Amino acid sequence: MAVEIKVTKTAVSRIDANRCVNCGTCSYYCPVGAISERQKAICHLCPDCTEMNAITPDKVIEMQSNACTLSCPLGLSPQGFIGLLKAGRDEEAFQHLWNKNPLPAVCGYICHHPCEQDCKRGTLVDRPMEIRAIQRFLSEKFIDYVPAPYPVIYDERIAIIGAGPAGITAAHMLSKKGYRVTVFEQGSEAGGMLLRCLPDFRLDKDIVRKEISRLEKAGIRFILNAKLDETSLDQLRKDYDRIIVATGNPVSKTLPLPNNRAENVWTAVNVMERVNSGKSVHLYGHVVVIGGGSVAVDTARTAVRLGAEKVTMICLESGKAVPAHQWELEEASAEGIDLIEGISPTRILGTSSDMRGVEYIKIKNLDPKTFHFDKVEGSDTELAADFVIFAIGQKPEIKWPRDGDLIFAGDIAGDQCSVIDAMASGLSAAISADNELRGHKYRDYEVERTVEAGELEYKIYPAMRQKLDFEPPYTLDAETRKKSFETVEKTFAPDKAELETWRCMQCGYHYIDPEVCIGCGVCMKVCPKGDVISMVAYPQNGREEQ
């Protein structure tokens, strides 16, 4: 028989929308789900309001359903850590990052920042917030931060195979939940492709090692040089309650072209592993990189630094379908790298020891899912080359059984296209493991995250705001950076980072539904800013009596 309990409340919590930084901490801890995110309307109906094109009233309304807070695959609120940093709450801002991202500094270097694409300032005023650069500044400031040890709440033990971004994220989230986690890595150090395949000019490897050391100090156990395969599973199943496989796709794919095993035909993974391990690699003449994704761009730019006089990328895709991000292609172009789009290599010219080039043909009607296409007859062309490097994707090294109790994460779970996407896959794997062991659904991800339209009293008028357009982070010029592996983009200086926080339009805030709030005050205690939430009297003749 169900028992109905009636609670008479005398006070409820209220959020000051003008002070809220929209970090979402209160919403996460609210025991009754009374708190939701809202987005302010931004009026830009007048064409002279800013230099950007005016928008229609319908567009004003439509934009209230979009937010940078919805764009991060890990569920981070950029406005949250930017607002906390602006308020002088630097450590709280970093903790906001750390709670959901075990590698915040790494992402500050290499994340493709989808949040910036949805930054409304970039659409309505001038250019997007430098969200990734602010995250990098904040994470490097606290790179030696020692977090509290992970809690040990449950008896169950979890094994994770692979210490790349996906495996590390799964380990972090499960450790925060209270599980004992062991990560097995076949290499001599944790980090996976972050250490093996990314070039130094994009990512400082010492930063990777420091962030992994922090995780280890917090309680994650790493076992290195662990050569596990499908035959090891029986023992792992005896020793652990759940197993997550996050081994990635470490083997480069190639094409079955004539002469594809010639002496100067390499793969992207092979080249990057050799460079990152400190082995001598010298290129000369013309290098052709087959592929159009981020790995191909990194490899092409590496070839420039290894001595190639000319580097050309060739790929099937054309225009906006080229997999690499536009900013990556622009950086490569500035370094003198050419891109030939919409073609397919047909054979490698020369002999095993005497490379002459690549023959290719123009294509049309490319199917982006199957990669089937039609050839343009008579368009055969020869491209001189001294080296050819395949960068057309990777595949698993081991064929893991898919019909058992394993949970997969990262590239091996479904060709994740970026580090942040692989980390999001690790988060999903952690949620799955927790759900299975606890027999429940993780509330924060049970429903797709959405935002609601905010009250009109908080409408933003760009014309009334101070015009702020500070310099983005300093980057080495193309001619300088081609001569070394020095990191291309530099970290914000403290004063520049602080100035950049003032560009945030503070589009979002959180709202407490007084009808649902039970007045427990938890939100007040967990608010990292501290001056946002207050308790107000709840009228006893309010709507609950109607």
Instruction: Give the model confidence (pLDDT) of 374-416 as tens digits.
Output: 999 999 999 999 999 999 999 998 889 888 899 999 999 886 6
pLDDT for the residue numbered 47? 87
Separation of alpha carbons 24 and 531, rounded Å: 15
Residue 463 has pLDDT above 90, yes or no: no
Residues 374 and 424 occupy one common structural domain: no
Q: Which residue has the tokens 């609210």?
A: 30
* DSSP E strand boundaries for 202-354: 221-223, 242-245, 251-252, 265-267, 286-290, 310-314, 338-340, 343-350
Mean pLDDT value of segment 461-484 = 88
Which distant-in-sequence residues (6+ apart) come within 8 Å of 75 by Cβ?
100, 427, 444, 445, 449
pLDDT for the residue numbered 446? 45
* DSSP E strand boundaries for 283-385: 286-290, 310-314, 338-340, 343-350, 355-364, 374-375, 381-384
pLDDT digits (tens, 9 = 90+) for 334-377: 999 999 999 999 999 998 888 999 999 999 999 988 999 999 99
Residue 270 has pLDDT above 90, yes or no: yes
The β-bridge partners of 433 are none
Mean pLDDT computed over every residue of the chain: 92
Quote the pTM value. 0.93
The one-letter amino acid at 38:
R
Separation of alpha carbons 486 and 480, rounded Å: 9
DSSP conformation class of 484: S
Q: How confident is the model at residue 545 (pLDDT cuts 50, 70, 90)?
A: very low
pLDDT for the residue numbered 366? 96
Instruction: Encode 248-274: b = buried (16+ Cβ within 10 Å), e = exposed.
Output: bbbebeeeebebeebebbbbbbebbbe
Residues 284 and 267 occupy one common structural domain: yes
Q: Does 545 fall in a domain? A: no
Separation of alpha carbons 110 and 97, rounded Å: 15
**Which has the closest alpha carbon to 419: 101, 173, 68?**
101
Residues 490 and 527 occupy one common structural domain: yes
Residues 271 and 348 occupy one common structural domain: yes
pLDDT for the residue numbered 229? 79
Residues 388 and 406 occupy one common structural domain: no
pLDDT for the residue numbered 440? 76
> Could you tell me the end-to-end alpha-carbon distance of the chain, in angstroms, rounded to an integer?
27
Domain with 246 in it: 157-250+396-438
The answer to whether residues 168 and 239 touch, using CB atoms and an 8 Å cutoff, is: no
Residues 304 and 373 occupy one common structural domain: yes
Residues 180 and 240 occupy one common structural domain: yes
How many helices (DSSP H) and strands (DSSP E) are in the chain? 20, 21
**Which has the closest alpha carbon to 247: 390, 426, 102?**
426
Q: Does 484 fall in a domain? A: yes
Last residue of a domain, one of 376, 408, 438: 438
Q: How many domains does the chain have?
A: 3
Strand order in the sheet with 387-390: 265-267, 387-390, 286-290, 310-314, 338-340
Q: Does 6 fall in a domain? A: no
pLDDT for the residue numbered 4? 60
Residues 376 and 277 occupy one common structural domain: yes
Q: Does 2 fall in a domain? A: no
pLDDT digits (tens, 9 = 90+) for 295-324: 999 999 999 999 999 999 999 999 999 999
Q: Does 96 fall in a domain? A: yes
Mean pLDDT value of segment 258-282 = 94
Structure tokens at 226: 């662990």
Residues 369 and 279 occupy one common structural domain: yes
Residues 135 and 195 occupy one common structural domain: no
pLDDT for the residue numbered 527? 97
pLDDT for the residue numbered 336? 97
Q: Does 80 fall in a domain? A: yes
The answer to whether residues 423 and 103 touch, using CB atoms and an 8 Å cutoff, is: yes
Q: Does 54 fall in a domain? A: yes
Residues 285 and 350 occupy one common structural domain: yes
pLDDT digits (tens, 9 = 90+) for 502-522: 999 999 999 999 999 999 999
Q: Does 66 fall in a domain? A: yes
Separation of alpha carbons 284 and 165, rounded Å: 33
Structure tokens at 489: 């983009």
Residue 541 has pLDDT above 70, yes or no: no
Rounded to whole angstroms, the maximal C-alpha distance in the chain is 90
Between these two residues, 518 and 442, which has the higher pLDDT value?
518
Residues 118 and 174 occupy one common structural domain: no
Separation of alpha carbons 373 and 43, rounded Å: 46
Provide the CATH number for the domain around residue 201: 3.50.50.60
Structure tokens at 424: 């999001």
Q: Give SS3 for 422.
A: helix
The β-bridge partners of 512 are 35
Cα-Cα-Cα-Cα torsion 324, 326, 331, 332, nearest 10 degrees, comes to 40
